[in-house]
């Protein structure tokens, strides 16, 4: 371990030299009150930035043990510290001039959701922040004096301000931790009572724009539960709160256009994650195993048993192990549901707008014209009831164009100018007055077998496996693009980074041609639960830009990988 004076001397020595001389910086340096670890140095000013850690012994940081134990508290603490550090950088750091990424200091900044991240590491021995920096250069020559100022003058006050408990706004910190504890307590209550979603009265569901998850500040109608669906719960810190509870079963959300149907569903679909104070959806929570389902024209499908929905295709195509390089709306949506069930999804969330019409519904007139033995699709309206009855899988469905679902619905909510109303009784009366000529079929929904991936699915070139990400929705395996746009609950590029790391871990350590996809992921997540995301990461330097994805999104990514081959 070297001293800060040695770092200063080193920077003076390499000042003006070629950029690769920065490699000499790698190592750990003792500063007053913390250690600076230079884990990885970029190859040139335009390359991926360098990675550093700033480490404070916990005896000096002095965070109370109850602030980071049990895990939900630690998640809240790391999230709060990450936001604080990011805000400090944006407010107080002006950057430095130079070539490429010169002068950059960044942390993996969160959005509105609270995710398990690697931007901070905390245990009883230490607290460390993980940063990316652009080491300064003029052209491809080292700007040693600028680097000295960045690492030795600008960075230490940020560490002092953000990694010592005594220097934080402790009241704000504990508000974040207590909110997270309340959210966890509400999830426990929901599981106990069999609720698949809860929406607190007063929640602000609309977002400020189609590209922002921040709350709409002007004109938003606060949520108010229908009287018939309103429940009261008592949480450890928030005390008594009231809101709408969605019970398991089949729930319809109906209403006219632009009255808030999709807005409610979108809030529910992102309720699988806890949200920060001030988001408006702090107490909009959903079954963590809920999966948003849509059609994806053109997606590849590999040996998926879509026969519960699609059978008797022309040319005797076997739909018990259906494969295609170019799925239609209906076959892709059927595959998405089956794949979600393979991942143990407990709730399906469906909006009619991005769904395949012929998959969702067939009216009586069409059934009379096109006989059942000529129509291979059993529409979802005929399967939603058996999904819940036989597998215990609930459905929340936005529907505005067909009342046929009234027959199978357990609850019908109508959105009227963003106000929900319980219209179940009226919907059932209409279903009785105008009965369907062909009733919902009573066939049991079959149990599904796991699918085993073959090791040959994952070829290596002469350099092995290269996995990169482009934003949140694209993963590159060597040169093959894996498009993740159909995974609407994948909300952070850091989650996509983690999916890439999980791919590599599965390929190198787990895929053996014998274990099915679900088992492979369960084994991998057990390691991650015990060791954190660090347990599976293969990064050069610290893995500071990872966030934990759900198993369902990882499984979705594997199923969208077009080289996947199933045994």
Chain center to CA of 522: 17
CB 137 within 8 A of CB 97: no
**Average pLDDT score over the chain:** 94
Tell me the backbone φ, ψ of residue 388, rounded to 5 degrees: -80, -45
Rounded Cα gap, residues 39 and 50, in angstroms? 8
- Identify whether the C-beta of residue 111 lies closer than 8 Å to the C-beta of residue 83: no
d(CA 388, CA 464): 44
Region of 398 please: left (phi>0), alpha (psi -120 to 50) or beta: beta
As a whole number, mean pLDDT of residues 476-486 equals 95
- From 390, 86, 485, 418, select the one nearest 256 (Cα to Cα): 418
Domain 174-449 has CATH 3.40.309.10: no
Interatomic CA distance for residues 215 and 221, integer angstroms: 11
| 112 DSSP 8-state letter | S
Taking only the tens place, the pLDDT of each residue in 334-350 is: 999 999 999 999 999 99
Average pLDDT over residues 526-531: 94
Question: What band does 224 get if pLDDT is binned at 50, 70 and 90?
Answer: very high
CA–CA distance, 31 with 2 (Å, rounded to integer): 9
H helices present in 153-200, as ranges: 155-162, 170-193
Q: What is the mean pLDDT of residues 203-209?
A: 96
Residue pointed to by tokens 């274990």? 515
Straight-line distance from the first to the last Cα atom of the chain, in angstroms, rounded to the nearest whole number: 51
The total of other beta-carbon atoms located within 10 Å of residue 427's CB is 21
Residues near 156 by beta carbon (within 8 Å), at least 6 away in sequence? 31, 32, 33, 34
Q: Rounded mean pLDDT of 105-132?
A: 97
Query: What mean pLDDT is predicted for residues 472-483?
Result: 95
Between 356 and 318, residue with greater pLDDT: 356
Record the tokens describing residue 434, joined without a space: 């105008």
- pLDDT-based confidence at residue 104 (cuts at 50, 70, 90): very high
User: 387-433, pLDDT tens digit by residue?
Assistant: 999 999 999 999 988 889 999 999 999 999 999 999 999 999 999 99
All residues at 6 or more sequence positions from 136 whose CB lies less than 8 Å from its CB, including other chains? 96, 97, 98, 102, 103, 142, 143, 146, 147, 150
Give the mean pLDDT of 154-175.
Answer: 97
DSSP secondary structure string for all residues of 338-379 = HHHHHTT-SEEEEESTTS-HHHH---HHHHHHS-GGG--B--
Mean pLDDT, residues 155-175 = 97
3-state secondary structure of 5: helix
Is 440's pLDDT higher than 60?
A: no
How many angstroms separate the CA atoms of 190 and 198, rounded? 8
Q: Which regions of the chain carry the CATH code 3.40.50.300?
A: 174-449
Integer Cα distance of 460 and 452 in angstroms: 20
CB atoms within 10 A of CB 139: 11
Cis peptide before 70 (omega within 30 of 0): yes
Q: How far is CA 63 from CA 37, 68, 72, 127, 173, in A?
A: 21, 8, 16, 9, 11
**Region for 473 from its dihedrals, namely left if φ exceeds 0, alpha if ψ lies in -120 to 50, beta otherwise:** alpha
Residues comprising the chain, all counted: 567
> In sequence order, what are the beta bridge partners of 301?
324
Pairing type for strands 230-235 and 239-247 reads antiparallel
């Amino acid at each position: 371990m070297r001293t800060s004076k040695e770092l200063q001397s080193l920077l003076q020595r390499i000042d003006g030299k070629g950029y690769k001389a920065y490699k000499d910086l790698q190592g750990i340096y003792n500063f007053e009150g913390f250690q600076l670890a230079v884990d990885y140095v970029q190859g040139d000013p335009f390359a991926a930035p360098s990675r550093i850690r700033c480490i404070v012994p916990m005896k000096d940081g002095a965070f109370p043990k109850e602030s980071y134990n049990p895990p939900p508290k630690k998640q809240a603490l790391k999230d709060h510290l990450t936001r604080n550090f990011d805000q400090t950088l944006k407010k107080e750091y002006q950057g430095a001039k130079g070539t490429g990424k010169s002068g950059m200091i960044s942390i993996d900044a969160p959005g509105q959701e609270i995710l398990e991240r690697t931007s901070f590491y905390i245990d009883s021995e230490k607290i460390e922040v993980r940063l990316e920096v652009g080491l300064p250069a003029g052209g491809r020559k080292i700007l040693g004096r600028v680097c000295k100022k960045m690492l030795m003058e600008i960075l230490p006050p940020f560490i002092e301000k953000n990694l010592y408990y005594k220097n934080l706004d402790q009241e704000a910190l504990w508000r974040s931790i207590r909110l997270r504890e309340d959210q966890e307590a509400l999830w426990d209550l929901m599981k106990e009572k069999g609720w698949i979603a809860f929406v607190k009265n007063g929640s602000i569901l609309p977002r400020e724009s189609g590209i922002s998850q921040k709350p709409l500040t002007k004109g938003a109608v606060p949520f108010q539960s229908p009287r018939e669906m309103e429940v009261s719960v008592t949480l450890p810190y928030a005390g008594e709160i009231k809101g709408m509870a969605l019970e398991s079963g089949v729930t319809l959300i109906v209403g006219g256009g632009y009255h808030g149907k999709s807005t409610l569903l979108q809030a529910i679909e992102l309720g699988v994650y806890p949200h920060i104070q001030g988001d408006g959806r702090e107490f909009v929570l959903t079954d963590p195993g809920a999966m948003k389902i849509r059609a994806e024209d053109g997606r590849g499908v590999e040996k998926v048993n879509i026969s519960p929905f699609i059978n008797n295709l022309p040319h005797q195509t076997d739909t018990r192990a259906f494969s295609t390089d170019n799925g239609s709306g209906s076959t892709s949506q059927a595959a998405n549901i089956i794949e979600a069930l393979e991942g143990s999804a407990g709730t399906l969330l469906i909006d009619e707008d991005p769904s395949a019409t012929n998959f969702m519904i067939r009216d009586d007139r069409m059934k009379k014209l096109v006989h059942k033995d000529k129509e291979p699709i059993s529409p979802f309206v005929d399967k939603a009831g058996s999904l819940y009855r036989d597998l215990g899988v609930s459905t929340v469905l936005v529907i505005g164009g067909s009342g046929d679902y009234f027959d199978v619905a357990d609850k019908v909510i109508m959105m009227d100018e963003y106000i929900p109303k319980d219209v179940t009784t009226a919907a059932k009366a209409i279903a009785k007055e105008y009965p369907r000529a062909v009733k919902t079929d009573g066939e049991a929904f079959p149990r599904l077998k796991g699918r085993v991936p073959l090791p040959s699915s994952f070829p290596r070139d002469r350099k092995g496996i290269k996995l990169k990400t482009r934003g949140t929705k694209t993963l590159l395996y060597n040169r093959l693009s894996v498009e993740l746009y159909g995974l609407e609950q994948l909300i952070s590029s850091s989650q996509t980074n983690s999916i890439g790391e999980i791919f590599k871990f599965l390929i190198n350590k787990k895929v053996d041609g014998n274990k099915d996809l679900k088992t492979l992921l369960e084994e991998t997540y057990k390691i991650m639960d015990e060791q954190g995301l660090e347990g599976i990461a293969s990064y050069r330097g610290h893995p500071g830009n990872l966030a934990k994805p759900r198993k369902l999104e990882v499984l979705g990514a594997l199923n969208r990988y077009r080289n996947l081959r199933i045994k």
